[in-house]
Amino acid sequence: MTNKNIQNRINAKWLNDHIDDPEIRIVDTRTAVDYAKGHIRNSVNIGLKDIVRTQLGLPAMCISQDIFEQVLGSRGIDNGTHVIAYDNFGGVFAARLLWTLEYFGHDRVSIFDGSIKGWIDEGGAFTSEVSTVKKANFSGEVDETRLATKEWILDHLEDDRITFLDVRTASEFTGKTVYGKRGGHIPGAVHVHWLETIDPTTGRFKSGEDLKILYENKGIDASKEVVAYCWMGLRASHSYAILRLLGYQHLRVYDASWAEWGELDTVPIET
């Protein structure tokens, strides 16, 4: 369940007005190298490598709860902190942090819609000075309703209350482009490429109305549970975040995604 008191999509004016609020932690989800070159004032760095690991040959899998708690605590984030994440890649890395936070039970999280370029264009405070924060204590609680596994999907393939959302490219969806042993998609999946949610002229998310129309036209019903997947869970996290911004409540990410499904001979595939 999302926190109704939190604004999910943050613009430059709001962030500038609240940049010094003590209950807010701005998180730069780019690489440490990019962060060191310059970042939004008062932001700390939590890059992708801090929150994913290769596990059993599967790339970019969610880290363990204890490691995640250490990462957040070392960046001054506790259970009451409102986390605002940003990146420079259309929100993919920020969205991955958002999903990870929600998976570990923290729903006080928003995405800055505009990326680092948008912040600079709006005249926002930009610095290369590393933010100094006091260590905090974060205690997570896994929310299994945010995660889909292979076993869970196999148990729900015939469930008409579930929509499987494939956010990869069209050629990946049809099996023309194959990453792994097999190409195609999970049977019955609906295809909405994650980049369809981005305004190509601004690099920002499309308007809420345009996004709502996009998903409704593809048959993504807010009354159903939506399970997003891609190749390794990153693009899926982006679509998860977009749907969350639109108010969808029942959302999961298939973390292992096609990196797992496409390697198996024992699961069904459509092309």
- Total tally of structural domains belonging to the chain: 2
Give domain status of residue 226, yes or no. Answer: yes
Q: Is 75 part of any domain? A: yes
- Are 92 and 201 in the same domain? no
Which residues touch 253 (CB under 8 Å, ≥6 apart)? 99, 103, 146, 147, 148, 227, 228, 229, 233, 236, 237, 240
Boundary residue ending a domain (83, 99, 127): 127
- If asked whether residues 116 and 190 sit together in one domain, one would say no
Give the active site residue among 12, 27, 230, 236: 230
- 43-73 b/e with 16+ CB inside 10 Å = b? bbbbbbebbbeeeeebebbbbeeeebbebbe
Same domain, 120 and 151: no
DSSP state letters, 196-236: GGB-TTTSSBPPHHHHHHHHHHTT--TTSEEEEE-SSSHHH
CATH number, domain with residue 247: 3.40.250.10
Identify whether 62 is a catalytic site residue: no
E-strand ranges in 101-250 read 109-112, 126-127, 147-148, 162-166, 190-191, 225-229
Q: Are residues 158 and 121 in the same domain?
A: no
Tens digit of pLDDT at every position of the chain (271 positions): 345 556 889 999 999 999 999 999 999 999 999 999 999 999 999 999 999 999 999 999 999 999 999 999 999 999 999 999 999 999 999 999 999 999 999 999 999 998 898 899 999 999 999 999 999 999 999 999 999 999 999 999 999 999 999 999 999 999 999 999 999 999 999 999 999 999 999 889 999 999 999 999 999 999 999 999 999 999 999 999 999 999 999 999 999 999 999 999 999 999 9
Give the domain range for residue 205: 144-261
Do 163 and 211 belong together in one domain? Answer: yes
What is the pTM (predicted TM-score) of this model?
A: 0.96
> Is 271 domain-assigned?
no
Residues 120 and 13 grouped into a single domain: yes
